[in-house]
């Protein structure tokens, strides 16, 4: 029998807490029957909700926690009141204590990152964690990082991110040598920020065996899917991600309003409904939910706070893949071949 994949859940995290986490977990379990859940939260709340999902109940162990970290808690406050006690902390600690292979929380990003950093610690040779997300593209999907773990990055951090992102791409896309680009304001070598240019030089000269460095990419390459992995500093990455999400919503609004303006348009919409539904499905942000924290001694996945059960299930899917295909070991192996050990 194959080994179960053990996932710990912060059942109290997110805008909707257990009312989204539990049905989300049930959905994920249907897709991956080999998951075993450790669910942290208020037992009195969780137990009755779980009764509605007999299969999930069977695959889940509830661990009581009195404290839930709210969505607007400052990271420092989340640590002060949550250390060792909150459902968020305990879910992450389960990974540290090897009771779980990955943790998932829809709690606030800052608090979760602070918790993960303190509880799990960063990997050897990695100074700063990053958050990687799946980015839908015309060619399929790319991995983009950092979308908001840390503000500011020097050349070394960018190179670390390139390696970690490529490790994740190996797993997610099943590629031997994922292509990697550095986000910049132009593709010419002379352009851009010094740190980005320096990172480019290092990546080029170290010619890593498991990573195909392709140079600079620009903002519009994200949607094109020019490379498998796009690396950027967290401030810019976060703004790019939210700008793309905002633009997608905006065009969705335009489309909705165009299709309801005239009778002819409404008739056309009815004929093409299936196509519109397919498009809506393709653009559904819930399907790419799940930011992966990279660079920590353990797998933590952050779900959007406002997502629903379908979205939360996607975040669990991501955690499952990372745990099942051994993200940690892949990163470790790639770091061993990294520029740190290369002759200058």
In the complex, the residues that contact a copy of itself under the rule CB under 8 A are 72, 74, 136-138, 148, 151-152, 183, 185, 188, 190, 192-193, 218-224, 232, 234-236, 238-251, 253-255, 258-259, 261-262, 264-265, 267-276, 278-279, 282-283
CA separation for the pair 305, 13 (Å, rounded): 7
CB nearer a copy of itself, residue 255 or residue 310: 255
CB nearer a copy of itself, residue 62 or residue 143: 143
In the bound complex, what is the minimum distance in angstroms from residue 342's beta carbon to a copy of itself?
28
CB nearer a copy of itself, residue 4 or residue 278: 278
Write down the residue that tokens 């700008």 correspond to. 243
The dihedral over CA atoms of 126, 127, 133, 138, expressed in degrees to the nearest 10, equals -70
In the bound complex, what is the minimum distance in angstroms from residue 177's beta carbon to a copy of itself?
25
In the bound complex, what is the minimum distance in angstroms from residue 192's beta carbon to a copy of itself?
7
Coil vs helix vs strand at 312: helix
Write down the residue that tokens 């990997």 correspond to. 123
> What's the CA angle centered on 149, arms 191 and 106, to 5 degrees?
140
Residue 47, CA distances (Å) to 54, 55, 280 in order = 11, 13, 35
Edge to edge, what strands does the sheet with 179-183 contain? Answer: 60-64, 35-41, 5-10, 102-105, 299-302, 291-294, 130-137, 140-145, 229-231, 179-183, 212-217
No. of H helices and E strands in the chain? 14, 11
In the bound complex, what is the minimum distance in angstroms from residue 264's beta carbon to a copy of itself?
5
In the bound complex, what is the minimum distance in angstroms from residue 8's beta carbon to a copy of itself?
27
CB nearer a copy of itself, residue 123 or residue 155: 155
In the bound complex, what is the minimum distance in angstroms from residue 74's beta carbon to a copy of itself?
7
Tokens linked to 91: 């879910």
Q: What is the DSSP letter of 142?
A: E
CB nearer a copy of itself, residue 175 or residue 244: 244
CB nearer a copy of itself, residue 118 or residue 251: 251
Q: Residue 54: name the closest of 22, 13, 93 by CA.
A: 22
Task: Please report which helix (H) or strand (E) contains residue 292, including its range.
Answer: strand 291-294
CB nearer a copy of itself, residue 235 or residue 325: 235
Task: Using DSSP bridges, classify how beta strands 299-302 and 291-294 pair: parallel, antiparallel or unpaired.
Answer: antiparallel
CB nearer a copy of itself, residue 173 or residue 235: 235
In the bound complex, what is the minimum distance in angstroms from residue 316's beta carbon to a copy of itself?
25
Task: Using DSSP bridges, classify how beta strands 291-294 and 130-137 pair: parallel, antiparallel or unpaired.
Answer: antiparallel
CA separation for the pair 220, 318 (Å, rounded): 25
In the bound complex, what is the minimum distance in angstroms from residue 261's beta carbon to a copy of itself?
6
Coil vs helix vs strand at 296: strand
CB nearer a copy of itself, residue 97 or residue 189: 189
In the bound complex, what is the minimum distance in angstroms from residue 139's beta carbon to a copy of itself?
10
CB–CB of 328/43 below 8 Å? no
CA separation for the pair 245, 86 (Å, rounded): 31
């Amino acid at each position: 029998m194959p080994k179960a994949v053990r996932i710990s859940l912060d059942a109290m995290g997110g805008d909707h807490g257990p009312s989204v986490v539990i049905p989300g977990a049930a959905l994920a379990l249907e897709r991956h029957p080999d998951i075993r859940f450790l669910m942290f939260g208020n037992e009195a709340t969780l137990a009755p909700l779980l009764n509605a999902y007999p299969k999930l109940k069977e695959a889940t162990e509830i661990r009581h926690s009195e404290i839930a970290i709210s969505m607007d808690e400052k990271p420092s406050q989340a640590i002060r009141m949550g250390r060792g006690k909150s459902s968020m902390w305990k879910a992450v600690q389960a990974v540290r204590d090897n009771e779980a292979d990955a943790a998932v929380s829809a709690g606030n990003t800052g608090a979760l990152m602070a918790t993960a950093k303190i509880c799990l610690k960063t990997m050897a040779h990695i100074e700063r964690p990053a958050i990687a997300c799946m980015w839908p593209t015309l060619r399929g999907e790319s991995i983009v990082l950092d979308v908001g773990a840390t503000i500011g990055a020097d050349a070394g951090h960018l190179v670390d991110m390139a390696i970690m992102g490529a490790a994740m791409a190996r797993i997610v896309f099943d590629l031997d040598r994922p292509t990697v680009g550095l986000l910049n304001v132009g593709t010419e070598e002379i352009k851009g920020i010094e740190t980005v240019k320096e990172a480019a030089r290092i990546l080029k000269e170290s010619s890593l065996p498991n990573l195909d460095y392709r140079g600079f990419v620009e903002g519009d390459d994200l949607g094109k899917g020019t490379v498998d992995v796009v690396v950027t500093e967290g401030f810019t990455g976060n703004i790019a991600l939210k700008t793309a999400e905002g633009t997608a919503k905006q065009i969705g609004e335009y489309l909705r309003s165009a299709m309801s303006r005239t009778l002819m348009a409404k008739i056309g919409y009815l004929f093409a409904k299936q196509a519109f539904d397919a498009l809506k499905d393709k653009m559904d942000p819930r399907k790419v939910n799940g930011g992966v924290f990279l660079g920590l001694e353990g797998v933590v996945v952050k779900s959007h706070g406002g997502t629903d059960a379908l979205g939360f299930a996607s975040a669990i899917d991501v955690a499952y893949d990372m745990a099942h295909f051994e993200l940690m070991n892949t990163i470790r192996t790639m770091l061993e071949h990294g520029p740190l050990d290369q002759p200058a």
